[in-house]
Copies of this chain bind each other. A is one copy, B any other.
């Protein structure tokens, strides 16, 4: 399995952070690159979407949403019962793992392209759909059915979050303009995508390095959770992919979505919606463990599992 070069940028950032290099990528560049990536992913998905009937996607979408709801529930039970975390912390972590990581998705897509494995471009639609329901579920779990939650501001926060706005906005732009309309923008949004992803991963390496200290607070249980949970979630994703007759490539993407934990939308939303939850735990696990785990080991592994599963069912 040939390795994916963009990961080297992540490792470089991680290394620079760990040796406490004075390399610092300005926060503004982080913002700019993430806006670019979200828009570009949305646009690419929208162009693909224009080639399919939306109605045909409704069935798979429902199945995927239903299966995905299992992830935060499993995560919550494991963390709250087994891990004896505070209810708020367990709920916030559940929301992070139930939601998705856009960059992990992009690296998985790039891994597939590099290995010439086809996947459906409309998978981006599921990325968008999976982003926010888990955040709402997390709040419900935190409140334990109590009625204190101010849903209005919470919903506005989540649906007006920049990742949702840019992904959906990109989808619509790609869908309305089509491949032809977007062509003059291809030089920016398509050709530079991989390079920008590499640059962003360099930055993510620095961020992850700065969060390694949080891991100590998180403790061994949470570190284990940060690796076991993506494996379990990816397995669910692969089974759903099989059930929906997805190609190997699309199944790997779905597994990656399920396995990934959000660190853009979720931290911001949870900080407001579940103030008692300690962000060091959720960010330590999601960013310090699960993100590098998926990048370095998870994605190739899910691909391997998808191939085998495909063999079994054929």
What secondary structure prevails in chain A residues at the interface with B? helix
Q: Does A83 contact B (CB under 8 A)?
A: no
Known contacts A12-B169, A20-B160, A189-B195; is A184 also within 8 Å of B114 by CB?
yes
Q: Does A296 contact B (CB under 8 A)?
A: no
Establish whether residues A8 and B188, one from each chain, have CB atoms under 8 Å apart when the complex forms.
Answer: no
Copies in the complex: 3
Choose the segment among A24-32, A84-92, A130-138 that binds chain B (4+ C-beta atoms closer than 8 Å): A24-32
Establish whether residues A5 and B196, one from each chain, have CB atoms under 8 Å apart when the complex forms.
Answer: no
Choose the segment among A95-103, A171-179, A276-284 that binds chain B (4+ C-beta atoms closer than 8 Å): A171-179
Establish whether residues B195 and A187, one from each chain, have CB atoms under 8 Å apart when the complex forms.
Answer: yes
Establish whether residues A176 and B35, one from each chain, have CB atoms under 8 Å apart when the complex forms.
Answer: no
Cβ of A22: which chain B residues have Cβ within 8 Å of it? Answer: 157, 160-162, 268
Q: Does A21 contact B (CB under 8 A)?
A: yes
Interface size (A, Cβ < 8 Å)?
54
Establish whether residues A177 and B5, one from each chain, have CB atoms under 8 Å apart when the complex forms.
Answer: yes
Q: Does A16 contact B (CB under 8 A)?
A: yes
* A12–B166 CA distance with the chains assembled, in angstroms: 8
Cβ of A5: which chain B residues have Cβ within 8 Å of it? Answer: 173, 176-177, 181-182, 184-185
Cβ of A186: which chain B residues have Cβ within 8 Å of it? Answer: 195
Q: Does A228 contact B (CB under 8 A)?
A: no
Ranked 4 nearest A-B pairs via Cβ: A188-B195, A23-B162, A5-B177, A21-B160
A6-B185, A12-B169, A187-B195 known; 9 other A-B pairs, CB under 8 Å?
Answer: A8-B172, A9-B173, A16-B162, A22-B161, A23-B35, A23-B160, A24-B31, A29-B32, A114-B184
